[in-house]
Amino acid sequence: MKQLTFAKYRALISLFCGALTPLAFAPFDLWLLILITPGILYLLLQDLSPRRAAWISWCFGTGFFGTGVSWVYVSIHTYGNASVLLASIMTLAFAMGLALTFALQGWCYAKWLSPSRFSAAGFIGIWILFEWFRSWFLTGFPWLYLGYALIDSPFKFWAPLGGVWLLSLTVLCLSIGVIQLIKAHRTPRRIALAVLISLPCLALILPKDWTQSSGHIQQVDIVQANIPQQLKWDKNYLPEFLNMYSQITLRDTQASLVIWPETAIPSLLSSAKPYLSELLYRFDKDNRSLISGLPSIEADSEHPDGYRAHNSLAVLTGKTNIYHKQRLVPFGEYVPMETYLRGVIEFFNLPMSSFSLPAETQTTLRIGDMKIAAAICYEIAYPELVRQLSIHSDWILTVSNDTWFSHSLAPAQHLQIARMRALENGRWLVRSTNNGLTAIIDPYGDITAQAPAYQQAVLSGSIENRSGTTPYQKYGAAPVLLFSLLLLAACFIRRKKGNS
């Protein structure tokens, strides 16, 4: 009976710690918390069977995602028109499904890595590998990596060396290392652990400038029109919204480069051009550039529909060119198992939820000699995708329509992720959104200008073209993943020897 009661409390503690962990991320930014909760989960998993470890880890993951991605509810209920009960059930099911990655992580840890003298190393290694696993499995959900919480901490400058992955490793080494230091009985071991724990503090003396300014300063105006999501895709409002964008742009912008957000043009360009003709004519005449998000199509005889529909970002003046989104949001931009789900409830019929992946690899956008790494909405959360594009770019542009998530945690988390991409790649980053959070971010991940959220605004600022590469751009996640594999190997071998 006592063992059963303890097991129940262990699960509740795990659930509670998981639910607290997102407070370390934006908008709360209690980053010290991220150094505590992984260590608690590590303690909770000691001396458990694989099945019990999977259960405890799943509880942590359910709390973690239940709080951290609760913003999914807004899309399902407010814009998918699902009832409060149905939206709540679907949001909880989403969190519980994501938590299965934690369950598998816990099962693997207990099955092959614990108990062992090096079990702490195994716990750290397996966590990093599962963060990487989440970046690509079933198209990926690279959200709420531990390292994001350190964007405003003294440890942030590890990011240009190993990306958010290295910051996640830093979190785990500090969190688990302190626990091991407290548990250590021998002085030599304590000294070794103390040295290990102090290593992340080297971030204070790391180089800050891995990339260099090319000397070119680009003035930019970002239009935040604050279009209501419920009306955005209503064809009857198309003339009104495009005229609004045009009037704001002609009246309130002066920069040579103007940026509109994701799908600011909610129709094919051919349908929108009659309403944009004057604006585009004047921009061409004045040698100004306009970049906007919009849907587009391209012929493809091998596609079932005969064409591919894309969520795109295009330079609409001068020498036009276009970028098609490469990472689509499930249910928002495409419907998995569409044949069975389309039409079941309104949420599965959201506007523009039939996009396709591009047939060819996408490259940078160009305006004259300037090369821009583009990331549409959710794509900015993929560290390796942005890394590959930004190597050959002067700066990074990400556009989004976070109106889907209203006043939830999502816009702040999304901005925090964008800040990490700027820091990792040593590039200025411009973030253009429909209603916030629109911002300009420097190569150190700091916000230099930000528009007020949930209102119409034009954000004006300047950015620098940058050249050169950070270590992370050169080597990506590979060094951190290799180190994690070495931790796992050391733990596994030690456990084998201990059992023989």
Average of pLDDT values for 235-242? 95
Answer whether 8's CB lies under 8 Å from 16's CB.
Answer: no
Alpha-carbon distance 370 to 335, whole Å?
36
Residue 241 has pLDDT above 80, yes or no: yes
Residue 249 has pLDDT above 80, yes or no: yes
Alpha-carbon distance 60 to 105, whole Å?
11
Label residue 468 left, alpha or beta by phi (over 0 means left) and psi (-120 to 50 means alpha). left
Contact residues for 200 (Cβ-Cβ < 8 A; gap 6+): 155, 158, 170, 173, 174
Residues 141, 147, 149: CA angle, nearest 5 degrees: 100
Q: Tell me, what's the pLDDT at 21?
A: 98
The neighbour count for residue 53, using CB atoms within 10 Å, is 23
Answer whether 174's CB lies under 8 Å from 146's CB.
Answer: no
Residue 6 has pLDDT above 60, yes or no: no
Q: Which of the four pLDDT bands, split at 50, 70 and 90, describes residue 353?
A: low
The length of the chain, given as a count of residues: 500
The listed range with the strongest mean pLDDT (52-61, 107-116, 137-146) is 52-61
Q: Tell me, what's the pLDDT at 340?
A: 45
Answer whether 38's CB lies under 8 Å from 60's CB.
Answer: no
Residue 239 has pLDDT above 80, yes or no: yes
Q: Which of the four pLDDT bands, split at 50, 70 and 90, describes residue 186?
A: confident
Average of pLDDT values for 344-351? 51
Q: Tell me, what's the pLDDT at 361?
A: 85
In DSSP notation, 148-190 reads GGGTTSTTGGGHHHHHHHHHHHHHHHHHHHHHHHHH--SHHHH
The one catalytic residue among 131, 262, 384, 464: 262
Residue 188 has pLDDT above 90, yes or no: no
Alpha-carbon distance 95 to 36, whole Å?
22
Q: Tell me, what's the pLDDT at 343?
A: 52
Largest CA-CA distance found in the chain, in angstroms, rounded: 81
Alpha-carbon distance 323 to 116, whole Å?
50
Contact residues for 113 (Cβ-Cβ < 8 A; gap 6+): 119, 122, 123, 126, 488, 491, 492, 495
Q: Tell me, what's the pLDDT at 263?
A: 93
Q: Which three-class secondary structure state does DSSP give residue 222?
A: strand
- Reading the block at residue 225, the tokens are 């029109």
The neighbour count for residue 213, using CB atoms within 10 Å, is 14
Q: Tell me, what's the pLDDT at 203?
A: 84
How far is the CA of 366 from the CAs of 392, 452, 460, in angstroms? 11, 29, 21
Q: Tell me, what's the pLDDT at 351?
A: 53
Of residues 1 and 325, the one with the higher pLDDT is 325
- Reading the block at residue 90, the tokens are 């679907």
| Mean pLDDT lowest among 237-246, 271-280, 318-327, 339-348 | 339-348
Average of pLDDT values for 343-358? 60
Contact residues for 473 (Cβ-Cβ < 8 A; gap 6+): 387, 390, 391, 424, 425, 426
Q: Tell me, what's the pLDDT at 1?
A: 45
Q: Which of the four pLDDT bands, split at 50, 70 and 90, describes residue 195?
A: confident
The one catalytic residue among 59, 108, 173, 377: 377
Q: Tell me, what's the pLDDT at 161?
A: 97
Q: Tell me, what's the pLDDT at 40?
A: 97
Average of pLDDT values for 124-144? 95
| Mean pLDDT lowest among 44-53, 179-188, 442-451, 453-462 | 179-188
Which amino acid is present at 114?
S
Residue 342 has pLDDT above 50, yes or no: no
Handedness of CA 382, 383, 384, 389 (dihedral sign): positive
The neighbour count for residue 279, using CB atoms within 10 Å, is 21
Q: Tell me, what's the pLDDT at 201?
A: 85
Contact residues for 36 (Cβ-Cβ < 8 A; gap 6+): 175
Residue 371 bridge partners (DSSP):
366
Q: Which three-class secondary structure state does DSSP give residue 120?
A: helix
Residue 349 φ then ψ, to 5°: -125, 30
Q: Which of the four pLDDT bands, split at 50, 70 and 90, describes residue 380?
A: very high
Q: Tell me, what's the pLDDT at 355?
A: 79
Answer whether 443's CB lies under 8 Å from 428's CB.
Answer: yes
Of residues 261 and 303, the one with the higher pLDDT is 261
Residue 382 has pLDDT above 70, yes or no: yes
DSSP state of 463: E
Average of pLDDT values for 10-31? 97
Residue 193 has pLDDT above 60, yes or no: yes
- Reading the block at residue 87, the tokens are 């939206």
Residue 470 has pLDDT above 60, yes or no: yes
| Mean pLDDT lowest among 182-186, 272-276, 326-330, 340-344 | 340-344
Alpha-carbon distance 265 to 161, whole Å?
38
Q: Model-level pTM?
A: 0.93
- Reading the block at residue 426, the tokens are 């040593």
Parse the chain into domains and list their residue ranges: 2-208+477-499, 212-469
| Mean pLDDT lowest among 19-28, 329-338, 365-374 | 329-338
Average of pLDDT values for 216-241? 94
The neighbour count for residue 447, using CB atoms within 10 Å, is 16
- β-pairing, 289-299 vs 321-324, is unpaired
Q: Tell me, what's the pLDDT at 192?
A: 79
Average of pLDDT values for 259-282? 95
Q: Which of the four pLDDT bands, split at 50, 70 and 90, describes residue 202?
A: confident
- Residue that the structure tokens 């005229």 belong to: 243
The CATH classification number of 212-469 equals 3.60.110.10
Answer whether 269's CB lies under 8 Å from 319's CB.
Answer: no
Instruction: Work out the mean pLDDT of the chain and round it to a whole number.
Output: 91
DSSP state of 360: S
Helix, strand, coil % in the chain, rounded to nearest 5: 55, 15, 30
The one catalytic residue among 232, 325, 424, 464: 325
- Reading the block at residue 430, the tokens are 């411009």
Answer whether 216's CB lies under 8 Å from 166's CB.
Answer: no
- 262 in catalytic set: yes
| Mean pLDDT lowest among 161-175, 186-200, 230-244 | 186-200
